[in-house]
Amino acid sequence: MVAALEIRNLHVSVEDRPILRGVNLTVKQGEVHALMGPNGSGKSTLANVLMGHPAYQVTAGQVIFDGEDLLEMEADERSRAGLFLAFQYPVAIPGVTLANFLRQALNARLKAKDPDSKGISIPEFRRLMKAKMDLLQMDHSFAGRYLNDGFSGGEKKRAEILQMATLEPRIAILDETDSGLDIDALRIVSDGVNKLRGPQLGVLVITHYQRILNYIQPEYVHVMLDGQIVESGGPDLALRLEEMGYEWIRARHNPA
């Protein structure tokens, strides 16, 4: 059965200030969607709400994931259900290696499924990590570094993609993964995403610019303005935005 993330008339406020004003969007496994829009349009708010950030108040609407009410789940339950968020600004955790972080995350999932689980063995985990790092063409020494501590922008984003590869979510949200990346790092990170995309993974790419969509090509493109998705189309919509900006859409939906 194909899992789907269904956002229905979602309204969200922060400190009583409305940010999202009726968002409707469905992303299914096997699909790649891009969500575009200018600064302040609500794109990252949507990502944070989907993963359960406590600062955001849902005032109306529903989010259904694989038939379940996502908004009733804690953040860790959402992750175990198969939702993943790659952060725009990943946090450094000195003293915790990337490998240890990922092994603990996997064991938490196994424990949730089976309270008697002893977790993944160290030899099995090492084999898994090496296989995922080989798939993403990453040096194995990367796993021994402290999580995001002293990482370049590109290395932080590659670490996020490695987490995605290891945890194998059903729907992944990439919140401005292209932010702060030079063209080489962008190509490397995008290549990692493309190696993971397929029938078992749905992807929502959140971005300002068309640039990343040259590498991660979406089937669907949506435009958010003022907390609403006001336009949807195919890849050609992103190209038109690159050429003309957002003003033509703003003019269409807010005529003088």
Closest to 81 in 3D by CA, of 92, 95, 69 = 69
Q: Express each pLDDT in 240-256 by its tens digit.
A: 888 888 888 888 877 55
Distance, CA of 28 to CA of 37 (rounded, Å): 21
CA of residue 162 relative to chain centroid, distance: 13
Amino acid at 123: P
Distance, CA of 144 to CA of 123 (rounded, Å): 15
Q: Which residue has the higher pLDDT, 177 or 149?
A: 149
Query: Of 3-17, 27-41, 47-61, 175-189, which gets the smallest average pLDDT?
Result: 175-189
Residue 43 pLDDT more than 90? yes
Distance, CA of 237 to CA of 223 (rounded, Å): 9
Statement to judge: residues 10 and 112 lie in one domain: no
pTM recorded for the entire structure: 0.93
Statement to judge: residues 175 and 85 lie in one domain: yes
What are the strands, taking DSSP E only, across 29-170? 32-36, 57-65, 68-69, 83-86, 93-97, 146-147
Q: Name the residue range of residue 123's domain.
A: 92-150
Whether residue 162 is contained in a domain is answered as no
CB atoms within 10 A of CB 251: 10
Distance, CA of 69 to CA of 82 (rounded, Å): 13
Provide the residue count of the chain.
256
Closest to 165 in 3D by CA, of 108, 89, 104, 86 = 86
CB atoms within 10 A of CB 15: 8
Residue 23, helix vs strand vs coil? strand
Q: State mean pLDDT over 107-134.
A: 90
Could you tell me the CATH number of the domain that includes residue 197?
A: 3.40.50.300
For the chain, the domain total comes to 2
Statement to judge: residues 35 and 141 lie in one domain: no
State the pLDDT at residue 186. 86
Closest to 101 in 3D by CA, of 56, 162, 42 = 162
Give 146's strand partners. 97
Statement to judge: residues 82 and 185 lie in one domain: yes
> Radius of gyration (Cα) for the chain, nearest Å?
18
Q: Cβ distance 32 to 197 under 8 Å? A: yes
Whether residue 244 is contained in a domain is answered as yes
Residue 163: which pLDDT band, with cuts at 50, 70 and 90? very high
Statement to judge: residues 8 and 86 lie in one domain: yes
State the pLDDT at residue 59. 96
